[in-house]
Every structure is written in structure tokens, then in C-alpha cells.
Amino acid sequence: MKIGDKNIGGDNPCFIIAELSANHNGKLEVAIETIRAAKRAGADAIKLQTYTPDTLTINCSKDYFKIDGGTLWDGKTLYELYGEAFTPWEWHKELFKIAAEEGLICFSSPFDKTAVDFLEDLNVPAYKIASFEIQDIPLIKYAASKMKPIIISTGIATLDDIELAINTCREVGNNDISILKCTSSYPAPLELANLNTITDMRSRFGVVIGFSDHTYGWVAPVTATTLGAKIIEKHFILDKSIGGPDADFSLDEQEFGEMVTAVRNTEKLLGKVDYTLSEKVKKNRKFARSLFVVKDVISGDILTEENVRSIRPGYGLHPKYYKEILGRRFTKDVERGEPLDFDMFDF
């Protein structure tokens, strides 16, 4: 998979996405500065959300539309929440421009066909399907039909939902698919993350696997990296003091930068499967054990456990020969502290 100039998956580094979401607090200047801060923090991409309250729901105060699930937004109607959180469509062109100037890839989550059409006019390099839209098969099919990479969060998905979403993309000929392990709880408790699922996803689905995180802090993204996640998405905020629906579980510039550093260091630690020795390690092999003469001997003496031992450093014979050489006779005088060699005894 390739998004913009970034190759994703395989041995490539994690693709790290800063999710703007509602963290502009309704102010264009905040959104612009947030993009610049995301670049400073080390993000590869900035992601928007493209919807209006009317493309997501209806303005209705019936209980069906009231939030009451132990979230940060309980008491609001869906329409009220989305009215606070949406990114005005008239900002998008400017935000894409700023991202390009900063060298960040910019793309978005569409929430209906009109959003896909709007984003197509902006020439987005990829589409992100949000967790709660994974059952919107017509939306997934329409977005996938644009033949751009599709990233799908799985926060509310069953195994059947995931398979259906992937197959929907493939049915229109789009195989540039990634699915993100996700927990749709805001914030998400650590005990619900179940990150070992990432390992199963990698073997089960045959697509790029990533992680969309709603936990506090950045331990979860780093852990996901160790399990093979190749995309990390995390909510990003310029300053938590500005508040907003997602502020509580977002990272600010310093925290996000710490996460990026931790992920990059984790990637260095993971490295690759490699049994060869670096030049530095090769040099240090001299400190390994080897066979040494540890007592002055003269020609004709027997090699015994008293005069030959396996000790550091590593200039003598390999210790694997120890049992084999015991009982042989020295053919020359050897001082204590000399590395044992084959030319010192009959072999």
C-alpha cells in the first residue's frame, strides 16, 4: 500500500497519523496551527473528518438520538455533538494546502457519498472509514470504487463485519486495504484494547494491519508496534486547555512527539530477523570464553582439568573441544595464561 509518498506495510516504518477530529474547537486558525504542530511532533499525516450534522443524523430529541452510554458526551443529542465537532467543508481546501506546505499527507474520513465526491475534488490520496461506518457497505463500496487506499477502523466490528468490509473493497477491484484494531470507547480502558488481536488480524486477513487508539497516553501505540501494526492513528490536539469533545484522550505536541520517538525507537529495537553479527559484536567476541592453560606445564604433561580451563577471554580454542582434549599430552612447555592451541599437544 502507498499513500502519497509513503510505502506502508512490509518492512516500511509505521505510518503515523495525527487525527484532527474536533480538536480545532470551531476555529480555523486553531486547525491550521494544529497541522503545523503535528508536523513538528513527527506525524506522517493529518486526518480530517468530512461530515455535517445533517449527513450523519437528523435533528431529533427522541431518546434514540440521545447519548447515554457512559461517554464524555452523555446528555447531548447526536445532532448537537456533531454540530460541535464537525470540520466546516469550506476549511478543507485551506487545510489541505497547509498540510502540503508542511510536507504532511492529508486525507479524511467521509461519512456519506457527498463527502466522497467533495474529497475527490480535493484529490485526496486515501480514504478512512470510521469505526461506526464499517456497516455502511454502500459507503465503503463507493469510496473503494475511487481506487484509492482504504483504511477501515474496526472498533464496533464483528469478525463478519470486517470480512464483509474487506470483501466489499475487493469486489470493486480495490486491494489497497488496511484495517485498524480499535476500541470504540472514549477514552478506551487498557483492559479492552486486546492488542493480541493484531497478530491474528495479520495472519487472517492478508491486508495491512494498524491501530487506531483512544486510550490515554501512548503505551498502547508502542505495544501495537511490537505486534506488527504498520499504521498508528492517534487524536492530536494543539492544547488540551482549549477543550472539545475529543480533548480528553488526545495527545498534545509534546506527548505526540514522545509517542513518535517511542514508536521509532521500538522499530529500531525490533529490527529484522538476523543471525549475523555486526562488526562491533564480532570484536566483542574476544571477551567470550575459550580454552586457556591456567598452570605452567612442560612437554609430556597431561592436559587435565587442573591445567586447562574454559575462561574469558576468547583467544584460545573453542570450549566445545574441552572434553575431547583432556588426557592428551603437551608437546611443548607452555606458561600459565597462554591460549590453548592445537600445536601445543598431540591431537
Domain chopping of the chain, boundaries: 8-51+86-270, 279-344
The CATH code belonging to domain 8-51+86-270 is: 3.20.20.70
Query: Looking at the predicted structure, is the pLDDT value of residue 247 above 90?
Result: no
Tell me the pLDDT tens digit for each residue of 8-20. Answer: 999 999 999 999 9
pTM over 0.85: yes
End-to-end alpha-carbon separation of the chain, Å?
Answer: 60
Q: Do domains 8-51+86-270 and 279-344 have the same CATH topology?
A: no
Q: State the Cα–Cα distance between residues 193 and 181, nearest whole angstrom.
A: 8
The CATH code belonging to domain 279-344 is: 3.90.1210.10
Q: State the Cα–Cα distance between residues 224 and 209, nearest whole angstrom.
A: 10
In total, the chain counts a number of residues equal to 347
C-alpha to C-alpha distances, 38 to 28, 42, 118, 236, 280, nearest whole angstrom: 15, 6, 24, 7, 37
Tell me the pLDDT tens digit for each residue of 159-193. Answer: 999 999 999 999 999 999 999 999 887 788 899 99
Are the C-beta atoms of residues 287 and 312 closer than 8 Å to each other? yes
Tell me the pLDDT tens digit for each residue of 122-172. Answer: 999 999 999 999 999 999 999 999 999 999 999 999 999 999 999 999 999
pLDDT at 70 (0 to 100): 66
Tell me the pLDDT tens digit for each residue of 51-101. Answer: 999 999 999 999 999 988 666 678 789 999 899 889 999 999 999 999 999
